[in-house]
Amino acid sequence: MKWFLSDRDRGASVWAVLVGAVVCLAGACSSSGGDEAAAELKVDTTSRTVVLTAVVAEHKAADADAKASKPPTLEYLLVASGGKADKAALVTQVRPAALRQALVSVGLEPGKAVTGADQQLDGPKVRIVVQYEASGKKKSHDAARFIATAADGKPLDETPWVFTGSRETTTADGASTIEAEATGSLVGLHAADASSLIGNARPEASKPAGTYQANTEALPAAGTEVRVAIQRVDDSPRRVHVFVSGRVQGVGFRNFVTAGAQKLKLTGWVRNLNDGRVEAVVEGPAEAVGELLAQMRRGPREANVTDLKVEDEKPTGEFKAFTRKPNG
């Protein structure tokens, strides 16, 4: 499966970053087996996104006749190989420690794992998007779409998930580790599961097992290969100074950036430079800035972006709108 983009889905910005420079974490990617093997776990520090490969888990009762059978009860959105795949929507070969390292590398500080169902999850919020191909069509959805509450069969709302980092523990020989390495729990659905790397902050998550089930109307067929993108949700102010290289002048790049910034309600400016590059300063909520950077990395249809240099600066709040400046 190749990377692809969908401008019609909110997840588009998550996937657009993959066209640019992406870093494969040491020990997480295979050195053989083609592009698919090498794409197992990747990070993009510009958009603060982690992407991994996974497959839809097999649920035999539901797969035989999804309409006639009761949807399978789920306890996890995502587990590592060796975890409770029969209770998960998705399964990946990525190890919990490697995913944790990747999330930390994009600026996510692990929160605190809960020790009881009545406690609130603590940690930075993340959004999870799943992309795949079905019947020759490219699909991209918030991961919540694939999970439903058993009480009414309705899919979950798109409330962000919480990166707790899993509870720390020690091995039999005294080495430090995390509980997720033993359980394989990557994204758990029940708040009391302290072993999960990422937890579910929805109110019903504190209820007993049996609260959630697969949304069989939306979940792809068992074995379908998917890409799972985990992106931090951050509304704190962010300001970036951007230099774009490649075929970026005379192709409507400034208009493209201006329209995108205005739609995202960002402030700043963009201009052409005499050396053929495009320069921009962008300020606004961090998540929206990350989305615009993803759009800039792709560029308009006629553009060919070869490099996107991003420098973070201290937000000043000096701009009132996003404008085009004279060439410099």
3-state secondary structure the chain: CCCCCCCCCCCHHHHHHHHCCCEECCCCCCCCCHHHHHCCEEEECCCCEEEEEEEECCCHHHHHCCCCCCCCEECEEEEECCCCHHHEEEEECCCHHHHHHHHHHCCCCCCECCCCCCCCCECCEEEEEEEEEECCEEEEEEHHHHEEECCCCCECCCCCEEECCCCEEECCCCCEEECHHHHCEEEECCCCCCCCCEECCCHHHHCCCCCEEECCCCCCCCCCEEEEEEEECCCCEEEEEEEEEEECCCCCHHHHHHHHHHHCCCEEEEEECCCCCEEEEEEEEHHHHHHHHHHHHHCCCCCEEEEEEEEEECCCCCCCCEEECCCC
Selecting among 232, 272, 297, 298, the annotated active-site residue is 272
Neighbouring C-beta atoms of residue 6, cutoff 10 Å: 17
* Residue 304 annotated in active site: no
Do 208 and 193 contact (CB within 8 A), yes or no? no
Do 131 and 229 contact (CB within 8 A), yes or no? yes
- Please state, in angstroms and as integers, the Cα–Cα distance from residue 109 to each residue in 89, 172, 232, 255, following that order: 26, 27, 11, 36
Residue 119: HSE in the Cβ half-sphere, 13 Å Cα cutoff: 13
Q: For residue 135, what are the β-bridge partners?
A: none
Placement of tokens 């910034």 in the chain: 261
* Residue type for position 310: V
Selecting among 100, 254, 297, 298, the annotated active-site residue is 254
* Residue 239 annotated in active site: no
Active site residues: 254, 272
